[in-house]
């Protein structure tokens, strides 16, 4: 049996000052996925509402009834071919608290949303691959500073990119967290109506 909704409680380092919980998808396969996404979301809501490492404040947890999501969108669960950039020079990504973090621009991939072509860059750091992005619904349906994914590497420079598990950075709930700000090259002109929506208290 495949397992979709398992996340680790270990923290992924995104800043030298503070870390944020990262939900890691393990053993992700296409078969049986439709019935498992709800379990993943319910488990994540449990973490946010009760775990001491939740990004929510004590006051937020008191009234927390769950995160907001788009319906599952199978068209935005992609296996993409990545064009390697072969650029070993680190680039600096600004954070929400005025700091910086270094990443390598690993590669780019193209995809389509409702017939419109789009392109995103995957970044790499010591903790793995990182895909921040902002879509055209930012500020209306999605978090203005962007959402995150950790794309799963496959064989021959292919990656699994499932926007259904795109999530808001911790600073979307609590400004005390420090989060990388999505670079300009990953600000899309198309809507990504999958994954987590804006957080409303």
So what's the pLDDT on residue 108?
97
Is it the case that residue 92 has pLDDT exceeding 90? Answer: yes
Residues 6+ apart with CB under 8 A from 141: 70, 191, 193, 197, 198
Is it the case that residue 67 has pLDDT exceeding 60? Answer: yes
- The model's pLDDT over 136-194, given as tens digits with 9 standing for 90+, comes to 999 999 999 999 999 999 999 999 999 999 999 999 998 888 899 999 999 999 999 99
Helix and strand counts by DSSP (H, E) for the chain:
2, 11
The pTM assigned to this predicted structure is 0.81
Map residue 108 onto helix, strand or coil.
Answer: strand
Is it the case that residue 50 has pLDDT exceeding 70? Answer: yes
| 3-state secondary structure string across 78-106 | EEEECEECCCCCCEEEEECCCCEEEEEEE
So what's the pLDDT on residue 10?
31
So what's the pLDDT on residue 6?
29
Range with lowest mean pLDDT among 3-17, 39-53, 89-103, 130-144: 3-17
Is it the case that residue 117 has pLDDT exceeding 80? Answer: yes
CA torsion sign for 171, 23, 118, 90 is: positive
* Domain residue ranges in the chain: 11-186
Average pLDDT for 120-133: 95
Is it the case that residue 51 has pLDDT exceeding 60? Answer: yes
- The model's pLDDT over 69-83, given as tens digits with 9 standing for 90+, comes to 999 999 999 999 999
Closest CA to 198 of 148, 138, 135, 150: 138
Which residues of the chain form beta strands (DSSP E)?
11-12, 20-21, 77-81, 83-84, 91-94, 100-113, 116-125, 128-133, 147-149, 152-153, 158-162
Integer angstrom CA distances of residue 175 from 37, 59, 62, 119, 146: 28, 14, 18, 29, 14
For the record, the structure tokens of 184 come out as: 């300009």
Q: Mean pLDDT, the chain, as a whole number?
A: 84
So what's the pLDDT on residue 35?
60
The residue behind tokens 């800043």 is: 15
Contact (Cβ atoms closer than 8 angstroms) between residue 118 and residue 190: yes
pLDDT category of residue 36 using cuts at 50, 70 and 90: confident
- The model's pLDDT over 52-63, given as tens digits with 9 standing for 90+, comes to 999 998 999 998
User: What angle (nearest 5°) sits at the alpha carbon of residue 41, between those of residues 197 and 49?
Assistant: 90
So what's the pLDDT on residue 133?
98
**How would you class 90 by CB atoms within 10 Å of its CB: exposed for 0-12, middle for 13-18, buried for 19 or more?**
middle
């Amino acid at each position: 049996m495949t397992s979709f909704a398992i996340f680790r409680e270990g923290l992924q380092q995104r800043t030298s000052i503070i870390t944020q919980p990262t939900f890691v998808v393990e053993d992700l396969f296409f078969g049986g996925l439709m019935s498992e996404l709800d379990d993943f979301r319910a488990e994540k809501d449990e973490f946010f509402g009760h775990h001491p490492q939740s990004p929510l404040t004590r006051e937020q947890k008191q009234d927390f009834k769950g995160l907001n999501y788009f319906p599952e969108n199978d068209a935005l669960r992609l296996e993409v071919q990545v064009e390697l950039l072969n650029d070993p020079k680190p680039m600096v990504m600004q954070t929400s608290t005025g700091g910086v973090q270094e990443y390598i621009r690993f590669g780019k991939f193209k995809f389509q949303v409702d017939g419109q072509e789009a392109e995103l860059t995957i970044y790499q750091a010591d903790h793995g691959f990182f895909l921040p992005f902002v879509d055209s619904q930012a500020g209306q349906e999605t978090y203005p500073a962007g959402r995150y994914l950790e794309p799963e590497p496959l064989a021959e420079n292919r990656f699994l990119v499932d926007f259904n598990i795109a999530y808001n950075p911790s600073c979307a709930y609590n400004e005390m967290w420090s989060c990388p700000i999505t670079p300009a090259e990953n600000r899309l002109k198309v809507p990504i109506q999958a994954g987590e929506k804006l957080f409303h208290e």
